[in-house]
């Protein structure tokens, strides 16, 4: 891999566009001074922000685009209106044309996935790409996928998500053999959706040395029971949003509790350092970035409502995965899995 990585940024995505992307890029450059940036978007808006961030200006090439994809555009509409001309399209296209090692956008998820599929195409052996999230746990971090790209369960898809999540976990955490769990509504083998049970059997019988743990439940995600949690996009998205909601809820309870009495306020003052450590743990910006897995290129989706710090985390993630060549690893692992599976007698992968 080249030492100098280039990251393409869609400057028009997210709720705050350039006003988040530029300071986010600045923070990311502080941590990764060697990277180059290609910044796609309205040059006037970008120039206004670049004045404030000389470090970004020095590391970036700005490419003007006329079209910005609306946050509420339907994917088909975005493809029609933004094909070739939009900042989102061109940022992804830079990855395809090897001008950039990865693209980052805080724009509309559906549009970003649709464009990424059209431009980068799905990788060999991939039926449908997935979105993988980094999930902070009591043991560290886990990867959860899919968190919203594909809805409805499908055994083969779940297995390919497991293989892709395993590759991502090896790449970003350097784990030799990450443990894999299938999200279900009970740990017993008899419970849950048929498609999930079928995927379990396929993973158990895989010729690859996959460390398949078994079924996990919703509470196992935060506990870090496994390194990779595999599920279809509907329940994955609901789990992700429910965890966010619960964290917000508890933060509100905690604030209210600390305002409750003078003693509590003094206590809060004394424990301030501890509370900031807690806030950091709970900060959704620290683990911001959904990784599109299963494409011939790296695209990271930043949360649309994030701020500079969150956007910087998404850039960090893109850098990390480009440096470790995520795509080649995913493709090689899928290839190995399917080669091994094809060797299995037919009845071994079917479920009675």
Chain residues that interact with a copy of itself, rule: CB under 8 A: 72, 74, 110, 137-138, 148, 151-152, 183, 185, 188, 190-193, 217-223, 231, 233-235, 237-250, 252-254, 257-258, 260-261, 263-264, 266-275, 277-278, 281-282
For residue 212, the minimal CB distance to a copy of itself (Å) is 19
Q: Give burial (CB, 10 Å; 0-12/13-18/19+) of 174.
A: exposed
CA 343 to chain centroid, in Å, comes to 32
CA angle 143, 146, 150 (to 5 degrees): 170
Task: Decide: helix, strand or coil at residue 346.
Answer: helix
Whose Cβ is closer to a copy of itself: residue 84's or residue 260's?
260
* 71 or 309: CB nearest a copy of itself: 71
Question: Least distance (Å) from a copy of itself to the CB of residue 278?
Answer: 4
Nearer to a copy of itself, 307 or 324 (CB): 307
3-state secondary structure of 146: coil
Q: Minimum CB separation from a copy of itself for residue 30, in Å?
A: 27
Q: What residues have CB less than 8 Å from 148, skipping those under 6 apart?
A: 109, 131, 233, 234, 236, 237, 240, 290
The two structure tokens encoding residue 175? 């784990």
Q: How far is the CB of 139 from a copy of itself (least distance, A)?
A: 10
Return the number of the residue (97 or 261) whose C-beta is nearest a copy of itself: 261
Instruction: Identify which of residues 231 and 341 has a Cβ nearer to a copy of itself in the complex.
Output: 231
> Is 257 in a helix, a strand, or coil?
helix
Residue closer to a copy of itself (CB basis): 47 or 257: 257
Nearer to a copy of itself, 166 or 197 (CB): 197
In whole angstroms, what is the distance from residue 180 CA to residue 198 CA? Answer: 15
Q: Crossing angle for the helix pair 109-120 and 87-96, nearest 10 degrees?
A: 40
Distance in Å, CB of 222 to a copy of itself, minimum: 4
Q: Which residues contact 84 (CB under 8 A, 6 or more apart)?
A: 90, 93
Phi, psi dihedrals of residue 235, rounded to the nearest 5° = -70, -30
- The minimum distance between CB 85 and a copy of itself, in angstroms, equals 23
DSSP secondary structure of 4-30: S-EEEEETT-SSSTHHHHHHHHHHHHH
Q: Minimum Å distance from CB 107 to a copy of itself?
A: 15
Taking the least distance from each CB to a copy of itself, the nearer of 84 and 265 is 265
For the CB of residue 144, give the shortest distance to a copy of itself in the complex, in Å: 10
């Amino acid at each position: 891999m080249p030492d100098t990585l280039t990251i393409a940024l869609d400057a028009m995505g997210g709720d705050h566009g350039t006003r988040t992307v530029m300071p986010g890029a600045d923070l990311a450059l502080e941590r990764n001074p060697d990277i180059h940036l290609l910044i796609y978007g309205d040059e006037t808006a970008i120039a206004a922000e670049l004045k404030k961030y000389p470090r970004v200006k020095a590391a970036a090439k700005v490419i003007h685009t006329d079209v910005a994809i609306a946050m509420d555009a339907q994917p088909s509409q975005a493809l029609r209106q933004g094909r070739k001309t939009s900042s989102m399209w061109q940022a992804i296209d830079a990855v395809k044309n090897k001008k950039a090692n990865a693209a980052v956008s805080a724009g509309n998820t559906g549009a970003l996935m649709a464009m990424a599929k059209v431009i980068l195409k799905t990788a060999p052996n991939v039926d449908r790409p997935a979105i993988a999230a980094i999930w902070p746990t009591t043991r560290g971090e886990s990867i959860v996928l899919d968190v919203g790209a594909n809805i409805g369960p499908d055994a083969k898809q779940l297995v390919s998500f497991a293989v892709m999540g395993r590759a991502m976990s090896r790449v970003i955490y350097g784990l030799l053999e990450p443990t894999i769990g299938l999200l279900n509504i009970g740990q017993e083998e008899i419970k849950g959706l048929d498609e999930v049970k079928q995927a379990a059997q396929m993973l158990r019988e895989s010729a690859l040395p996959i460390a398949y743990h078994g079924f996990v439940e919703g509470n196992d995600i935060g506990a870090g029971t496994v390194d990779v949690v595999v599920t279809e996009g509907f329940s994955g998205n609901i789990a992700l949003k429910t965890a966010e909601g619960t964290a917000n809820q508890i933060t509100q309870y905690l604030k209210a509790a600390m305002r409750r009495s003078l003693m509590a306020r003094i206590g809060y003052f004394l424990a301030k350092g501890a509370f900031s450590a807690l806030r950091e743990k709970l900060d959704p910006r620290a683990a911001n970035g959904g990784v599109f897995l299963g494409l011939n290129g790296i695209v990271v989706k930043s949360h649309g409502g994030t701020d500079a710090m969150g956007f910087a985390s998404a850039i960090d993630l893109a850098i990390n995965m480009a440096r470790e060549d995520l795509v080649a690893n995913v493709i090689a692992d899928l290839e190995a899995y399917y080669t091994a599976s094809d060797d299995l007698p037919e009845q071994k992968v079917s479920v009675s």
